[in-house]
Structure 1
Amino acid sequence: MTRVDGLSACPARLAWLHTVVGLALVAIFQFGPESLQTPVMALVLVLGMVALHVGPRRNLAPADRTPWRLIRAGGYLFIVASLIRAAVPSTVATPPTWIAFIPNSFVVPAYLCIGYAFSVMLRRRRAADDDPARIDAILVGLAFAFLTWTFVIAPSLVTAGVTSYQILDALFPIIDVVLLVLVAQLLLAGGAQKPALWLLTAAAGAMFAGDLLYSLRDAQVVDISQATVNALFLVMFVLIPASALHPSTGSLVEPQQIVVSDMSRLRLVVIGLVVVVPTIVTSLVPVGIIANDLIRAALCALLVLGTLARVVRSNNSRVRAERATRRRATHDALTDLPNRELLSETVSRWADRATDEHLEISLLFIDLDRFKMINDHWGHQVGDELLCAVAARLAEQVRAEDVVARIGGDEFVIALASPSHLRLAESLADRLLIELAHPFELSVGDVAISASIGVAKSTGGAHALELIRDADTAMYKAKGSGRNAYAMFDTTLREQVRDRVKLEQALRGALERGELAVHFQPIVDLASEELDGFEALMRWNSPELGFVSPIEFIPIAEETGMIEEMGAWLLRESARQLLTWTDTRGPGARPLHVSVNVAVRQLRDGTLVRIVDDVLRETGLPPNALWLEITESGVMEDIEAALLTLNALHALGVTLCIDDFGTGYSSLSYLHRLPVGIVKIDRSFISDIGLTGANEPIVRAVLAMTHAMGHRVVAEGVETETQRDWLRDQGCDLVQGWFYGKAERPANLKHWIERTVPA
């Protein structure tokens, strides 16, 4: 709900001031001179109607004012009835005559307006359909109806000379009982019980008391003045407008967060009295007219049935709450698929009967490829939308007895139990790869993805968690094979995982222990055969594992995030070493550069630009002497995000290189958007050139197009004189490879630093 002016526009003190002044006027009306009764009543009615106009307008949005419009209409009808009674005294004569119908014809619709207003408040405020407040309030209403019938209406009906007017008056308390039932539901339904609700409750109580005394007076059961009855109605006219004026009136039409708790002692006592009191009264009051006794019996029966319904509903609510709690514990909140816990329970249950029934349990571990790109590009809301769409598509591809679970992030698992000869898992994996490759229609348009699937099987011996782990391991094999594929688990994979964990543990702390080193490979100018610079390469020599290939430890460093710290260290060490070599060569020598690889994770890290800037400031290295190599595939995974970082690095003055060009997306169309100065052709295209190899046209095309864009080209993996000569003839700018030398420690590269003439 949207407030118009909020609490500041209609402060609580205005409501309390209205209440104090109004009740003071009611006291004057009741106990003051009779001559003041008429003007005081008029003043209370006017103040009340003004408050009913002002309060909702200041505290509520127009859409929330409907209940108060109804109450305001009822107020005007009450005023018309009061004016008629004041103008025609015979309408309030005791016993009443037919003329009493005239003011009552306005009072009855007034009650209907107020009752409907209360029901609208209740409908908007109540949060749960099975809230026990409904039955509790009805029980309270039935008890009041029983007592009112027994002690008010029934005596009126047996009074000598009773008229239809007296019967009508006697029915007003029953109408008030209905209003009390609605107000009782507002109170018992829980939620915020703020002053506006208490003021409304007190007003309903005053209305009931006034009608009750009015009926008893007309039935000549009690001797009470009309002024006392009117005073109670004036109290109602003070408290209901005060409720409208109070800032908390918004809580009467706002859905409340209901917290179902155990039945309080007070509510238990009230319900007990509701059942016990009518039973006692029925036992003590002597038998009278058969119609009267039948109505009392019917009301008692309704009370018993209502109590029974209360017990049944409470029990059903508890069962539903337990089921809901169980479902929340065993199902994913986003997709409503079973979670890891329910999946494990199901697989364990199947495993118990797998041997006897000759079943094979199969698990398909499904991981969405590059799902992070979806979240990074469109946001988590679209990512969640995609996950729900994937869940629905997976559920369409399985049998009713299979289980589709989401166990976290973008990871899903499908569990199957079938005879081993059916090969259901393999056929399902093939079908899922095809289905998931079809674009998903999301709010941002069609989104295409792929998936990597790992399949693990068991005939009942493996534990559920072990089977999930094995399927997860096989999934990583599929992802490592190029994604959009599935792989079967075998025991060698488990050994590979064990080795990988061992490698990861050894890599942690390798930098602090001084196990990492920087090796440098020369990069040569083809035209002059002079040294142009070096590529810095990280090497790891572990005391426990020995020399570990970068092909093994760099991917682990990237996956675990260790590459960020290791990459920053590599950058600093490379810059310092280049400065040392520059000082050794002296002034006048050809300037050198150092080329440092930047991992994809570093490229996404917002601190890369700051780290590069800090290194340049700390070492004083000229920015153009630092080359940063970024893989083509790393840039293309999220080109828009990569461009932000690359443009910031370019602004620092460093030279940017596209490494391994041609092995990823081969996106020459994107190359003009990237602020790069160097393109490095991957060694896989160099291996057969000069021998009329199949890659020669590709290399010629790359050289022509990159030169046309103003970029220089470095050819990697040059190992023979033939390759060098062919590249020189094609106009390649720079080369590196074993023909000139492998990557070495700085101490082994003195001959390159001291060299002044071409080889």
Structure 2
Amino acid sequence: MSERPVHHTLFTTGVSLPMNMDMTNVRGLGPSAVRLHLALGAVLLAILAFGPVWAQTPAFVLIMVCGVVALHVGPDRLLPADQRKPWRHIRYAAYLFVIASVIRAAVPSTMTTPPTTMALIPNAFVVPAYLFLGSAFSGMLRRRRAADDDPARIDALLVGLAGAFLTWTFVIAPAVDGSGTTVIRVVDAFFPIIDVVLLVLVAQLMLAGGARQPALWLLVVASADMFVADLLFTLRDAEMISMPQHVVDVLFAAMFVAIPAAALHPSMRTLTQPQKIVIRDLGRVRLAVIATVMVVPTVVATLMPLGSVANNLVRALLCALVVLAVLVRVVRSNNSRVRAERANRRRATHDALTDLPNRELLSDTVASWADRVADEGQEISLLFIDLDRFKMINDHWGHGVGDELLCEVAGRLSAQVRTQDIVARIGGDEFVVALASPSHLRLADSLAERLLVELARPFKLSVGEVVISASIGVAKSHGGAHALELIRDADTAMYKAKGSGRNAVALFDTSLREQVRDRVKLEQSLRGAGERGELAVHFQPIVDVRSGDIDGFEALMRWNSAEHGFVRPDEFIPIAEETGMIVEMGEWLLRESVRQLLEWQAMRRPGDCQLHVSVNVAVRQLRDGSLVNIVDELLRETGLAPSSLWLEITESGVMEDIETALLTLNALHSLGVVLCIDDFGTGYSSLSYLHRLPVGVVKIDRAFISRIGVSQDDGDEPIVRAVLAMTHAMGHRVVAEGVETQAQRDWLYGQGCDLIQGWFYGKADRPENLTHWIRPQPQEAAYLS
């Protein structure tokens, strides 16, 4: 029945097979099997209805044989074992119908009119057959339907009650009052009753929504055939009409064609699978049906003359049940609508995963506090909480574990606040706690510190204990600030906390707002800087300590903005990394560096050492799946020797997700390029992981170089000695960065350092200013071993 859908899904499983369904030995049937069965059935029905008498019995036998075979083949070929039970019951019913038909054909006295006690013999098989059909339809309905408040149930009951009223009035009551023994009259009355029950079950299958596929329509046709056949059979036995048995046989045979055809059709799977159910507005057709089942019994009850007391009581009871069913339908429909509206309102204001208030409800609540706190001399405080490195949780264990963690975090935050405070989730791993309190109590500050400690405790998840940290930004207002502005200020303070090393609390001040404004301007200018020709590559020499000859260059990106002038790398590189622009900019840097190296190599004399170029790879590039393909393509296009390309990775970037990084690093290593660990020694775990990384060069951070050779008591010299000894033992070359003095170079030479980079030899410069390094001259400062 056509109705307008309302966006309120009660059950989300579609027609496709469930993921956990055991499909062992399920092979399927083609559509030709159904067409062949229906075509053969139509021919046999035509013979049974209009053919010669000698051909009718063979046609009837063939219909039953084909039906039983189809009921075996269809479910066994189309359904897994755990979905076949309803069809087994239909198969049992078919066996019993066949037995009853054989008895009636073999013993004609069982078919006399009016019936005798001999009719009880075949009926002893027909009655349980109907019970098996009822069980089968109930099983399909139980597996297929959705929510308890699905209106299809009450609508089907209305159809059944109206059918029961009419059947009682015109069929059962006259049959019970007719001739024959009491047992025969009761049995004859049973068939219309069970037909009404079957109609109710099939009506629910139809009205409950979901996939109304050919198999379902075939069951509807079969149920209608049974109902009409049994109605005519009962009226004939009650001698209320005169009708040959042949008509009943044709209708019964049509049922025996339709149900097996449903068993052969692939859509029969939908009869035992949960369907997507949608509550709909009451359509015109459905409304007309409900009105009919109310009006018809009332009109009939009014016009029909009174009968026996029992007859009148049953008719009154059925009429009352119809009215009550309509009333229940109205009440349940209204309640369902109210629940749906309530659920929709909650979905609009709460986070679906954690059930915490969302950004909209948070903003409305903070806005509602504004006037009250101003009058009472209080302040509104917002704590903007962001989980540090949450992406690693999703990348390593999957989003399911990430969702677990978010729910656990929501629980801990809620447990730490007062009942009048608000805990909201406003983004992926972003939470906000809002509270109003007297400013002198400093509740927000103490709460932020407490939350840092609370969130640092291990979380017990399905994968084991997981430890995280959080960065918290705090913003306060005495009621004058707009809610969204306050959230923005707390967000800004949170980024300050992240910039301070994470696992920290930062308080918003107006200077941060200026910084954010400047950062936004810088970000907008950075977009398109490459297309405008504002990016350039500078190169810094890397020199062999022993010979003093050039070994290669490190490529460094520079930005000279038309709007902002020269922008330091430590200002624009973090912006490029956070926004993802670094991926495209990094590829440009890589290609420009290789192009320049090839140009320099062409200028070298035969016998000169092969130069290399060292290019920094950002963490975003390391995680990007295209990096390996870009490097491979570049090497193939240019013909550059892979060993001439060094790729520098920071140890902190590798340590953030060592397993993911290893996949990319091993793939790059297999191409033959040289991998370098940059800023070595500034991290916290690289020493234990260095042996796992396929690196060939280690660059000691300038922080350890700046104080060597100054004082014998300096604490950095033993560290540098240890790094040199360890990396040489592992077969790696060592580059010392930030070398600026003769003393530093001399000390590194004495310790066996391989390469040096720093202002002692030259700063990073444009390629045209470095040509004196390309054709090396004898160096007075070179050391003799």
- The alignment's TM-score, normalised by the length of structure 2, stands at 0.88
Are residues 1:430 and 2:449 paired?
yes
In 2: Cα distance, 1:358 partner to 1:60 partner: 71
Contact kept? 2:29, 2:264, Cα under 8 Å: no
Identity of aligned residues (%): 73
Distance 1:190 1:746, change over 3 A: closer
1:13 is aligned to: 35
Distance 1:247 1:613, change over 3 A: closer
Moved more, 459-468 or 472-481: 459-468
Contact kept? 1:156, 1:170, Cα under 8 Å: yes
2:734 is aligned to: 713
1:713 partner SS: strand
2:277 partner SS: coil
2:226 is aligned to: 207
Q: 5+ residue gaps in structure 2? A: 1-16, 18-22
Give the counterpart letter for 1:719 in structure 2: E
Give the counterpart letter for 2:406 in structure 1: L
Are residues 1:730 and 2:722 paired?
no
Distance 1:238 1:640, change over 3 A: closer
Match among 70, 80, 96 for residue 61 of structure 1? 80
In 2: Cα distance, 1:193 partner to 1:656 partner: 61
2:10 is aligned to: none
Contact kept? 1:656, 1:676, Cα under 8 Å: yes
Q: How far did residue 159 of structure 1 move? A: 5.0
Contact kept? 2:114, 2:179, Cα under 8 Å: no
In 2: Cα distance, 1:335 partner to 1:158 partner: 65
1:7 partner SS: coil
Moved more, 424-433 or 191-200: 424-433
In 2: Cα distance, 1:36 partner to 1:655 partner: 89
1:260 partner SS: strand
Are residues 1:296 and 2:315 paired?
yes
1:480 is aligned to: 499
Distance 1:666 1:101, change over 3 A: closer
Match among 724, 747, 765 for residue 703 of structure 1? 724
2:26 is aligned to: 4
Q: How far did residue 13 of structure 1 move? A: 0.8
Q: How far did residue 255 of structure 1 move? A: 1.8
2:659 is aligned to: 640
1:461 partner SS: coil
Equivalence map 1:244-263=2 (5 Å)? 244-263=263-282
1:348 is aligned to: 367
Contact kept? 1:533, 1:594, Cα under 8 Å: yes
1:255 partner SS: coil
2:5 is aligned to: none
Q: How far did residue 484 of structure 1 move? A: 1.6
Contact kept? 2:649, 2:675, Cα under 8 Å: yes
Moved more, 269-278 or 688-697: 688-697
In 1: Cα distance, 2:250 partner to 2:31 partner: 31
In 1: Cα distance, 2:94 partner to 2:142 partner: 22
1:11 partner SS: helix
Moved more, 424-433 or 464-473: 424-433
2:429 is aligned to: 410
In 2: Cα distance, 1:16 partner to 1:272 partner: 36
Query: How big is each residue's C-alpha offset from its partner over 1:677-727, in whole Å with a ceiling of 9 and x where there is no partner?
Result: 322211211232231212222122112212222223222223334333333
Query: How big is each residue's C-alpha offset from its partner over 1:76-120, in whole Å with a ceiling of 9 and x where there is no partner?
Result: 333333444444444444333444433333332222111111111
Q: How far did residue 279 of structure 1 move? A: 1.0
Query: How big is each residue's C-alpha offset from its partner over 1:299-349, in whole Å with a ceiling of 9 and x where there is no partner?
Result: 111111111111112222222332333334333344444333333333333
Distance 1:478 1:173, change over 3 A: same
Q: 5+ residue gaps in structure 1? A: none
In 2: Cα distance, 1:239 partner to 1:505 partner: 69
1:114 is aligned to: 133
Query: How big is each residue's C-alpha offset from its partner over 1:235-283, in whole Å with a ceiling of 9 and x where there is no partner?
Result: 3333322322333322221222223322222221111111111111121
Q: How far did residue 572 of structure 1 move? A: 4.1
1:468 is aligned to: 487
1:565 partner SS: helix
Q: How far did residue 461 of structure 1 move? A: 2.3
Aligned Cα root-mean-square deviation (Å): 3.0
2:99 is aligned to: 80
Q: How far did residue 161 of structure 1 move? A: 8.1
Moved more, 618-627 or 245-254: 618-627
Are residues 1:757 and 2:761 paired?
no
2:471 partner SS: strand
Distance 1:50 1:749, change over 3 A: closer
Query: How big is each residue's C-alpha offset from its partner over 1:177-196, in whole Å with a ceiling of 9 and x where there is no partner?
Result: 11111111111112222222
Contact kept? 1:203, 1:239, Cα under 8 Å: yes
In 2: Cα distance, 1:155 partner to 1:207 partner: 20
Contact kept? 2:63, 2:253, Cα under 8 Å: yes
Match among 663, 668, 678 for residue 659 of structure 1? 678
Contact kept? 2:176, 2:189, Cα under 8 Å: no
Are residues 1:743 and 2:764 paired?
yes
1:440 is aligned to: 459
In 2: Cα distance, 1:71 partner to 1:384 partner: 45
Distance 1:293 1:419, change over 3 A: farther
Are residues 1:366 and 2:388 paired?
no
1:276 is aligned to: 295
In 2: Cα distance, 1:624 partner to 1:216 partner: 97
Match among 474, 477, 489 for residue 458 of structure 1? 477
Are residues 1:600 and 2:619 paired?
yes
Give the counterpart letter for 1:556 in structure 2: I
Distance 1:189 1:606, change over 3 A: closer
Are residues 1:308 and 2:335 paired?
no
Are residues 1:558 and 2:577 paired?
yes
Distance 1:17 1:489, change over 3 A: same
Give the counterpart letter for 1:268 in structure 2: L
Query: How big is each residue's C-alpha offset from its partner over 1:408-437, in whole Å with a ceiling of 9 and x where there is no partner?
Result: 332233333444444333333323323333
Query: How big is each residue's C-alpha offset from its partner over 1:12-34, in whole Å with a ceiling of 9 and x where there is no partner?
Result: 21331243134224315xx743x
Are residues 1:683 and 2:705 paired?
no
In 2: Cα distance, 1:250 partner to 1:510 partner: 59
1:23 is aligned to: 45
Distance 1:748 1:58, change over 3 A: closer
Moved more, 123-132 or 635-644: 635-644
In 2: Cα distance, 1:698 partner to 1:211 partner: 98
Give the counterpart letter for 2:41 in structure 1: T
Contact kept? 1:366, 1:475, Cα under 8 Å: yes
Are residues 1:546 and 2:565 paired?
yes
Contact kept? 2:44, 2:60, Cα under 8 Å: no
In 2: Cα distance, 1:221 partner to 1:625 partner: 103
Give the counterpart letter for 1:501 in structure 2: V
Q: How far did residue 134 of structure 1 move? A: 0.9
Distance 1:531 1:214, change over 3 A: closer
In 2: Cα distance, 1:677 partner to 1:42 partner: 85
Give the counterpart letter for 1:45 in structure 2: M
Contact kept? 2:47, 2:55, Cα under 8 Å: no
Distance 1:120 1:533, change over 3 A: closer
Contact kept? 1:15, 1:243, Cα under 8 Å: no
Q: How far did residue 36 of structure 1 move? A: 5.7
In 1: Cα distance, 2:599 partner to 2:103 partner: 108
Moved more, 568-577 or 284-293: 568-577
Give the counterpart letter for 1:711 in structure 2: H
2:715 is aligned to: 694
Give the counterpart letter for 1:688 in structure 2: R
Query: How big is each residue's C-alpha offset from its partner over 1:148-185, in whole Å with a ceiling of 9 and x where there is no partner?
Result: 22222333455588745324323421221111111111
Are residues 1:498 and 2:498 paired?
no
Q: How far did residue 622 of structure 1 move? A: 4.9
Contact kept? 1:10, 1:245, Cα under 8 Å: no
Moved more, 699-708 or 115-124: 699-708
Aligned residues: 756
2:345 is aligned to: 326
